[in-house]
């Protein structure tokens, strides 16, 4: 399969030298790119400017802001070359409403930024491709209860455009420990997985199965 993976953080510019971002390192996406390429898939990785890079020979391309990532996704998906998209990137929900030219003076005692909401990318991806596309979304919660986690995953399915959702909670991530749950439909408990290697194996199986079903439905 030809798989497009996104990883790392977007940067939403404030002025010429400052930006809003998040703590994503892109390590999950880079490891998935390595593991899936090793399993025989052809992988392209769109990564944030400071995101981790895969060890294997994977096609790489940088993105900056959410708008830049949206543009690159549109360009890559429009020809219909990809079978799946794994959206592991941490895309900012908000951007500064105004980007200041040059550098804002640092002499003011206070600085107020007005933010505008970025459009969600996941629900739009299938419409960018002329052929059936399997879309994997990621959902991170932080110290959420079991019920809140179910609601968060269900909300991503309800928004449309995703076939699988990978969930993890920030409170469970430790050095050397990174658990995930892979959900195939809204409301299900999901498959518990240990680490990115386990996630890659589960995604490989799920993507192959999804591809087989799609091919069967078009015959």
Question: Are 59 and 41 spatial neighbours (Cβ–Cβ below 8 Å)?
Answer: no
**What region does 25 belong to: left with phi over 0, alpha with psi -120 to 50, or beta?**
alpha
**Bridge partners of residue 47, in order along the sequence:** 7, 62
**What region does 76 belong to: left with phi over 0, alpha with psi -120 to 50, or beta?**
alpha
Task: For residues 22 and 24, give the distance between their C-alpha atoms in angstroms, rounded to a whole number.
Answer: 6
User: Model confidence over 134-158: pLDDT tens digits?
Assistant: 999 999 999 999 999 999 999 999 9
**Average pLDDT over every residue of 26-49:** 96
Task: For residues 60 and 156, give the distance between their C-alpha atoms in angstroms, rounded to a whole number.
Answer: 27
Confidence of residue 215 (pLDDT cuts 50, 70, 90): low
CA-closest candidate to residue 83, choices 135, 32, 133, 137: 133
Confidence of residue 176 (pLDDT cuts 50, 70, 90): confident
- In three-state secondary structure terms, 56 is coil
User: Model confidence over 179-192: pLDDT tens digits?
Assistant: 999 999 888 889 99
- Domain 2-93+115-217 sits in CATH 2.40.110.10: no
Question: Are 85 and 6 spatial neighbours (Cβ–Cβ below 8 Å)?
Answer: yes
In DSSP notation, 132-171 reads --EEEEEEEESS--HHHHHHHHHHHHHTSS-SEEEEEEGG
User: Model confidence over 124-137: pLDDT tens digits?
Assistant: 999 999 999 999 99
Question: Are 43 and 66 spatial neighbours (Cβ–Cβ below 8 Å)?
Answer: no
For the chain, give every domain's residue range. Answer: 2-93+115-217
Confidence of residue 216 (pLDDT cuts 50, 70, 90): low
Question: Are 105 and 131 spatial neighbours (Cβ–Cβ below 8 Å)?
Answer: no
């Amino acid at each position: 399969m030809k798989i497009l993976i996104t990883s790392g953080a977007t940067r939403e510019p404030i002025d010429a030298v400052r930006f809003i971002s998040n703590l994503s390192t892109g390590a999950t996406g880079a490891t998935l790119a390595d593991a899936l390429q090793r399993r025989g898939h052809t992988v392209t990785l769109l990564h944030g400017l400071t995101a981790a890079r895969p060890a294997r020979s994977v096609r790489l391309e940088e993105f900056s802001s959410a708008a830049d990532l949206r543009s690159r996704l549109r360009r890559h998906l429009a020809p219909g070359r990809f079978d799946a998209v794994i959206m592991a990137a941490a895309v900012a929900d908000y951007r500064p409403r105004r980007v200041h030219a040059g550098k804002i003076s640092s002499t003011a005692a206070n600085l107020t930024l007005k933010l505008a909401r970025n459009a969600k990318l996941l629900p739009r991806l299938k419409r960018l491709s002329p052929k059936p596309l399997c879309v994997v979304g990621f959902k991170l919660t932080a110290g959420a209860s079991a019920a809140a986690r179910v609601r968060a995953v269900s909300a991503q399915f309800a928004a449309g455009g995703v076939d699988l959702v990978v969930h993890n909670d920030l409170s469970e991530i430790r050095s050397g420990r990174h658990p995930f749950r892979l959900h195939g439909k809204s409301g299900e408990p999901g498959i518990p997985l240990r680490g990115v290697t386990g996630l890659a194996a589960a995604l490989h199986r799920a993507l192959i199965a999804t591809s087989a079903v799609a091919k069967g439905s078009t015959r």
